[in-house]
Structures are given as structure tokens and as C-alpha cells.
Structure 1
Amino acid sequence: MAHGTATLTPTAVMLLALLHEDDMHAYEMVRLLRERRADRLIALTHGTIYHTVARLERQGRIVEVGSDRDGNRPERTTYALTDAGAADLLAWIRRELVSVDDPGRFRIALTEAHNLPRDEVLALLAQRRELLVASLDAHRTARDRAIAHGSHPQFLIEVHRQAALLDADIAWLDEAVEFIRRPDTVWGVVDIPATDRYLAQREAARA
């Protein structure tokens, strides 16, 4: 039985997102994550992936749907996403797209945002923008007030840095929203073109 989105790690989220695309075995998950350069975001080792797959199965978020063996290779178990796993995946993405508490988790949510409808993602990012603007205003106000009360600016350099990062984040978010909103931007799992190269990699991963 699943235990709520709080139990989901970034690695678990990315594995659930893969199964949101299609049923697959753990070896294929590793291959696809490496192809998509997920090592920028999570620790991508066979041990971590297999351990996470086992935990997700115990939690009822994924389920075995078959197995196969090719020659002398170890048997490979194919997994599918359960309704509970899908619900938790989408709820996690929704929460982290808005939250400004953990930039690392936001990167994962942004990577998997295409699992949600385009209009919903735009609405969630609009909420995030409001929080970022409020935080930027608070940092600037606090810095100005501290200087007005006699604090030397050198002691507030980190506050100034954070304000600059927030300002840049808002500017980037505005660009991202425009990109997502464009009608020629491909969006959604089912809309991704299946190129010959991609299909060949999928077949190689299944072999």
C-alpha cells in the first residue's frame, strides 16, 4: 500500500514517470535514464535503481506484470504503474512545481512536468511565480530596512545574492512559461515523436 507522496524520493519519482510512459523492466529504466542524462539529477547506479524498484513494489505503487529470460542472462521482471503510483506521481509533481522550499526537488518536478496537462502546468508555475515574487520583495525589504537601521551592507551580501538569484529565477520562469505555452512546443508523454533511434534503443534495452 502506498504511503503518500512524502515517502517518494526523487529517484522514485523518475522511475514512476518512466512507467507512466510504458511498462518496462529495471534494466530498461537504467538505460533510458542514462540516455536522458538523469545523472544530473539523481544518483544513477544499478543498486539504487533496483533498491528503489523493490521499495515501490512493496508500497503498491508498481506491480509485476511479466518476466523474460534471454539466453544465459538473468531473468528480467517487467513492472507496470498502479493507479496509486500514478496518483502519487502526479500529486508529487504538482506540489513540487509550486513549492519554493527545495530547488533540487523542483528540478525533478520540472523534468517530469510533461506528465501533467499543459494548462495545469502553466497554472502551477503561475502560483510558483507569485511565491518567488513575494520572497524577492521580502528579501529586498529586509535588506533595505537593515541598512536603514545602521547595518553595514557587507554583512548583508548573502541577502543581496539571494535577491539576485530570485530575480533571475523569475526571469527564467517567464521564459519557460512562454516556451510551454507555444502551440508548436511538443507536450505530453503521448505527443513525443517516436524516432527510429529511440525505438532502436527501446528494443536494445528490452533485449
Structure 2
Amino acid sequence: MPEQTRLTPLAVMILATLRESDMHPYELMRLLKERRDDRLVPLQKGTIYHTVARLERDGLLAEVGVDRDGNRPERTTYTLLDAGRHAVEEWIRVELPQIDRQSDFRVALSEAHNLERDDVVGLLDQRRALLVESVDAHRASLAWAADNAIPEQFLVEMQRQAALLDAEVAWQDGLRARLADRSLPWGVAEIPEHLTKKNRVSKETTP
């Protein structure tokens, strides 16, 4: 991957979805929408086709065939290259520990299953340390405000953020525990067969 290339969240999701099977852009868009990934990034036809073209230019995916269904336009099918797989993993490793880029973190979390279980645990531990630092900073600020008789009406946003941070730490601790004790199935190999793209398509095409 060229050094100057920076993957967008949509690009990450496209590449990660291609790990399951080769697909054409329309199929990618349909599958992402079925999984409600439009909660995380806008899924517009033009943007998806443009992103796929850029990823092909950057050597992260490649054409593997063209097919036609009846009178519909030809559809080009793409496959994920090793460079694309590595790019997704690298992006997740950078974004998953972060606490200051919430939109990117949500995408990294949704695609974290592309990393090994133990790697995700380690990255979440890094993120927890940052969360705890932020919790401590908010508590210290609130304590200072109380000592200095700052009117509470000026502090409601800080109080809210402190509460959200506490909840975030508690939620993440629960996720980490389930990953560590292996009670949470993890990785592409552990996706139930009826939810895989290959199985879904075969059912759709069965008479």
C-alpha cells in the first residue's frame, strides 16, 4: 500500500467484508446495509464504487471476473489481496485503542474480529489506560469546581462526560473478560454458517 494512502472507514469496511468472499460493489453495499453498517458510515452507491476503484488502484483489491444477470449491466467482481488484508489489520490496530476519534473507533470495534483474540485484548487494555486517565481528569476537575464553589449549571456537560466514561470503562471491562475467558466466539472461523455471505447467497439462488 502506498505510504500516503489513508484508509477511510468505508474503505476498511469494504476490505474487511471481502475477507468473507469475492463480491461486486452492489453486493457489498447490499450486505453492509443488511448488517446495518450504515449506522457507522454513509453507504451511497457512488461513494462505494469510487472507493472500490481507489482501493484497486492502490493494490489492495483486484478484479477477478465480470458477470451479467439477464438485462442488468455487467458487474465486476473483486477479491481481497494480501496488501488489503494487512491494511485493514493495521488500521484497526491504530484506531481500536483510541478514545478521541469516536467514529473511527466504532468502525474499528465493528471490524475487530479481523484480529486475533489476544491482540484485541491487548489493544483494549491500551484503550482502558487512556479511558482511566480521562476519568481521573474529569473527576479532578469536578472536585476542583466543587472546592471553588463553581455553580453546577456550568458543570452539567462535564458531569455527563464523566458518567459516560465510567460506563465506557465498565462496558469495555465486560467485553475484555468475555474475550479473555473465550466465552465470546471470535474471528471469521467462528461466524455461524447461516450468517456467512456464501451460505446466504446460496440460499437466495436456490429454487
TM-score in terms of structure 1 length: 0.89
| Cα deviation, residue 4, structure 1 | 5.1
Residues 168 and 119 of structure 1: is their aligned pair in 2 closer, same or farther, counting only changes over 3 Å? same
User: Is the contact between residue 139 and residue 162 of structure 2 (CA under 8 Å) also seen in structure 1?
Assistant: yes
**Residues 80-114 of structure 1: per-residue CA shift (max 9 Å, x gap):** 22222222110111111101111111111111000
Instruction: Report what 2:172 is aligned to.
Output: 173
Identity %: 54
**Residue 179 of structure 1: CA displacement?**
2.5
Give me the whole-angstrom Cα distance separating, in 2, the residues matched to 1:197 and 1:41.
21
Residues 31 and 118 of structure 1: is their aligned pair in 2 closer, same or farther, counting only changes over 3 Å? same
State the partner residue of 2:2.
2
1:108 aligns with 2:107: yes
2:132 alignment partner AA: V
Q: Which residue of 2 aligns with 1:143?
A: 142
Question: What is the identity, as a one-letter code, of the residue corresponding to 2:75?
Answer: R
**Aligned position for 1:88:** 87
Q: Secondary structure at the match of 2:66?
A: strand
* Number of equivalent positions: 204
Counterpart-to-counterpart distance in 2, 1:58 and 1:15: 15
2:139 is aligned with 1:125: no
Q: Which amino acid letter does the alignment assign opposite residue 98 of structure 2?
A: S
Which amino acid is the alignment partner of residue 59 of structure 1? D
Deviates most, 79-88 or 131-140: 79-88
Given residue 58 of structure 2, which amino acid in structure 1 is its aligned partner? Q
Report the CA distance shift for 1:70/1:45 in structure 2 as closer, same or farther (over 3 A).
Answer: same
Give the secondary structure class of the aligned counterpart of 2:73: coil
CA RMSD of aligned residues (A): 2.0
Segments of 5+ residues of structure 1 without an aligned counterpart are: none
Partner SS, residue 24 of structure 1: coil
By how many angstroms is 1:37 displaced? 1.1
Mapped partners of 1:9, 1:197: distance in 2: 24
Aligned to 2:19: 20
Residue type of the alignment partner of 1:141: A
Shift of 1:124: 0.6
Offset of residue 21 of structure 1: 2.2
Q: What's the CA shift for 1:200? A: 4.9
C-alpha deviation, 1:173, in angstroms: 0.6
TM-aligned CA deviation for residue 196 of structure 1 = 8.0
Q: Do 1:2 and 1:85's aligned partners in 2 also have CA atoms closer than 8 Å?
A: no
Distance in 1 (CA, whole Å) between partners of 2:134 and 2:195 is 46
* Contact kept in structure 2, 1:16 and 1:81, CA below 8 Å: yes
1:120-142: CA deviations, max 9, x gaps? 10111011111100110011112
Aligned pair in 2 of structure 1 residues 55, 124: CA closer, same or farther (>3 Å)?
same
The CA distance in 1 between the partners of 2:100 and 2:196, in whole Å, is 38
C-alpha displacement at 1:199, in angstroms?
Answer: 4.2
Instruction: Decide whether aligned partners of structure 1 residues 151 and 197 sit closer, same or farther in structure 2, where only a CA change above 3 A counts.
Output: closer
